[in-house]
Structure 1
């Protein structure tokens, strides 16, 4: 009976660890989003995380005849990426992100975590004014 309890307990721990990994660490999707950086802040009570919002061009609405802005809310873990975004408020940005199935408090309040800033452009001028992503 003891042997059965040890095997059952071990299998249960492995299954729960697998579910936890799938929920919080499995990368569900990756992609690139572009738009105007609306805001970018560092906030939190216990865990201070970087949060931002990009407003994308165009409109989408869940109901016919209505208008709703297309916003992309995201979190940032990397300090270097956060530094670039802090200096890009109001500009057009292209961001590479990873989507997770669940959020963790130390990773931010969004399932979308930005991993890289591809380009930063000043919207007032033409597309030739792109700033290198490492500035």
Structure 2
């Protein structure tokens, strides 16, 4: 092999190594950008508000991520015959919510069966460790 052919071969190997390294960094940057986007998107608050009613239950459940889940009977029953049965059942069953904070969950556990006012934030999509619903309760007040 001539000296020229050997220089070309070594140059091609160096270019291949640099290309693979650049491709690896670009892939890593793309993955980090995607994960950051998902994290920001899922933590975006759509609305913030309060709702009141009788606290019917608060549970701690989950397989991989254990979260506090609750149900509030808002006392709303819609008797409009134009509403689909599943919507009617949802209105009669109450309002489901998640509680990411253990301190608030303990307060709710003590207030079970009583009338309460819940302060919540609605997320676009709650992360699995935050709760099963998009409504995240961050404070409670006894009525």
TM-score, normalized by the shorter chain, greater than 0.5: yes
User: Quick one: which of 59, 70, 74 aligns to 2:77?
Assistant: 59
- Which consecutive unaligned segments of at least 5 residues does structure 1 have? 122-135
Instruction: Kindly report the root-mean-square deviation, in angstroms, between the aligned alpha carbons of the 2 structures.
Output: 2.7
Alignment CA distance shift 1:45-1:18 (3 Å): closer
Q: Which residue of 2 aligns with 1:71?
A: 94
Contact 1:97-1:113 at 8 Å conserved across structures: yes
Contact 1:59-1:69 at 8 Å conserved across structures: yes
Contact 1:53-1:74 at 8 Å conserved across structures: yes
What SS does the corresponding residue of 2:95 show, helix, strand or coil? strand
TM-score scaled by structure 2? 0.68
Task: Choose between structure 1 and 2: higher strand proportion.
Answer: 1
- Which consecutive unaligned segments of at least 5 residues does structure 2 have? 1-17
- Aligned-pair distance for 1:17? 3.9
Task: Choose between structure 1 and 2: higher helix proportion.
Answer: 2
TM-score scaled by structure 1? 0.72
1:80-99: CA deviation from partner (whole Å, max 9, x where unpaired): 10110001111111000011
1:11-37: CA deviation from partner (whole Å, max 9, x where unpaired): 745652453034311111111011110
Distance 1:21 1:62 in 2: 39
Q: Which residue of 1 aligns with 2:38?
A: 20
Contact 1:28-1:100 at 8 Å conserved across structures: yes
